[in-house]
Amino acid sequence: MKKSYKICLLSISTISVILIASEYLLLSSNNILLQKAYGILHDIQRSSGIAPEDAEHCSEALFTKDAKDLPVPDNTSDDQVLEYLNNGCDAFKSRYRFVTQQGSKEEEEFPVAFSILLHKLPHQFAMMLSAIYSPHNIYCIHVDAKVKGPTFQAFEEMAQCFPNVFLTKHREYIVYASFARLKADMNCMEDLMVENKDWKYLVNLCGQDFPLRTNLELVRQLKALNGYNVIPGCDVSNDATLARTRFVHRAGNFTNPEGVTEVRMLPTKQKHPPPPFNMTIRKNLAYNFYTREFLYWVLHESKEAASLLEWSKDTYSPDEHYWLMTNMLPGAPGGKSDVISWWSPVTYINWISVKRNTCKGFVRHNICVFSLRDLYDVRRRHETFANKFDVTYDVMAPRCLRYWLDERRLGRNSERNPQRKPSMPSWIKQMT
C-alpha cells in the first residue's frame, strides 16, 4: 500500500521551505523504491529551476511507469529570448542554468566537438546547450540560411556569450533530405578543425535533441570506444531504399499528409550512375560519433571520399549513406571495413514504425515527440542523447531530464540515480 504524505509549504520572506516526510515510497506496480521525497524535490528545485508544485510531477514521470501528467507547452518567443540576452550574458547564463566552472581533469583532458544544426526555437536550443555545455568543449552552430530576423539574431547573440560557441562561416539553405543537410554538418566540421586543434571526437546533433548523459559520462563513453568511429547502419537490399540512389533527385513541391505544401527532394525519371570505385551502397543513421582523424581524412585526404561526396549531391538524404560508406573504406581512421551494425550509443529515436514501440507524446514524421509521460522509458535507454523534444508541446520533458542529469553531476541520490557506464558493442569489446 502506498503511504501518503502531507506537504506543507511555509513562506518566510522570499524563502520557501519544503517540509516532507523522509520515508521511501514503494511503487507496488513495479517494486521501484523512490529516494526520500525531500531529497528529490530539493534537488530538482535547486539544480533545475523547477517550481515546487512541478517537482512531484518530475519525480513521478521519471520513476513511475504510468505517469498521468498532461503536456505543459512553453511558448517563449524568439523576441523574449532576445530580451533575456539584452539583460547581459551573465543574466542569460543564470536564467538557463549554464555550468561554466571548470569540470574534472578527465573532462579537461578530453575535449569534445559538437556540430549542431538549427532552424527554429532559440529558447529550446538554450535549454539543450546549457545541458551539454562544458568550457572544455567546442560547439559549432549551423543555422539554416532560411532563418532570418529575431530567430537568427537570438542564435547569433547566444553564441557571442561564450568563447567556445560559434556560428559556422557558411550557411546552407536546407531542403528536407537534400545534400545541404550533409553539407551543413561538413561546414561545421571544417570550421571546428580550424577553431580548435585539441578535440578528440565530434558529435553531431540537431535542435530537438537532449542529452541522457552528463558530460563526464559522455567523455567516458567516447574514451571507451578506443579510437573507433560509431556509425550505425546496414546493407541496402529493399527497393524503396535503393531508389534513393538509383534515380536523380531534385527539389520540388510536396504536399504532406497534413495538406501542407513544402519543398522536398523528389525522384526524377533520370537514372543515377552507380557509386564510384565500385563502392557498395549502405544506409546509416544521421547522428554518430566521429574521431578527429577520421573527419580530417574524409575532408582533406581521401580521393574516394571526395568522389563519393560529388556522386551524392543529387541523391536522396545523402547524410544517411555517406558516413558509413566512407567509414568502411580501406584506410579510414577509426573505421571497420568488416563490421556493419545498427547498434548505437549515440541518439535514441523512437521510430513508431518499429513493432512494439509506443509513444505517449505525439508522432511527427513517424518519430515520437516525447512528453513527460515518456521519460520512464527514455531514462532507461543506453544511448547518450534522445530525439525528439518540442517545448511548444511539453517543456517539462527536457526540464525533468535536466534535473535527472544535474543530480548525477552533483553526486546526489547515487543509489537511485547512479553514474552511467559506457555502452559498448561486442565488436569493440573484442578489439580492446
Q: How does pLDDT run across 380-390, given as a tens digit for each residue?
A: 999 999 999 99
Rounded average pLDDT over 183-194: 98
d(Cα 41, Cα 7) in Å, to the nearest integer?
11
Rounded average pLDDT over 142-153: 98
Whether 156 has a pLDDT exceeding 60, the answer reads: yes
CA distances in angstroms from 36 to 32, 41, 283, 362, 406, listed in the order given: 13, 9, 47, 32, 17
Q: What is the mean pLDDT of the chain?
A: 87
Please, what is the Cα angle at 38 between 33 and 42, to 5 degrees?
120
Confidence band for 184, pLDDT divided at 50, 70 and 90:
very high
DSSP 8-class letter at 423:
P
Whether 50 has a pLDDT exceeding 80, the answer reads: no
Is 33 within the bounds of a domain?
Answer: yes
Confidence band for 116, pLDDT divided at 50, 70 and 90:
very high
The set of catalytic residues is: 320
Output the nine-digit C-alpha cell for 149: 530576423
Determine the pLDDT at residue 420.
93
Is 185 within the bounds of a domain?
Answer: no
Q: Which residue has the higher pLDDT, 5 or 103?
A: 103
The parent domain of residue 52 ranges over: 8-63
CA distances in angstroms from 320 to 25, 74, 163, 251, 388, listed in the order given: 45, 32, 32, 17, 18
Is 48 within the bounds of a domain?
Answer: yes
Is 19 within the bounds of a domain?
Answer: yes
Rounded average pLDDT over 191-205: 97
How many domains in the chain?
Answer: 1
Whether 18 has a pLDDT exceeding 50, the answer reads: no
Task: Tell me the HSE value of 276 on the side-chain side, using a 13 A CA sphere.
Answer: 14
Rounded average pLDDT over 345-352: 95
pLDDT in tens, 210-247: 999 999 999 999 999 999 999 999 999 888 889 999 99
Rounded average pLDDT over 89-112: 95
Q: Which residue has the higher pLDDT, 377 or 60?
A: 377
d(Cα 58, Cα 64) in Å, to the nearest integer?
10
d(Cα 383, Cα 277) in Å, to the nearest integer?
34
Is 26 within the bounds of a domain?
Answer: yes
pLDDT in tens, 290-346: 999 999 999 999 999 999 999 999 999 999 999 999 999 999 999 988 888 999 999
Is 47 within the bounds of a domain?
Answer: yes
CA distances in angstroms from 61 to 27, 386, 399, listed in the order given: 13, 16, 12
Determine the pLDDT at residue 421.
93
Query: H or E element: which one contains 431?
Result: helix 426-431
Is 44 within the bounds of a domain?
Answer: yes
Percent of the chain with pLDDT over 70: 86
Query: H or E element: which one contains 18?
Result: strand 15-19
* Three-state DSSP string of 145-205: CCCCHHHHHHHHHHHCCCCCEEECCCCCCCCECCHHHHHHHHHHHHHHHHHCCCCCEEEEE
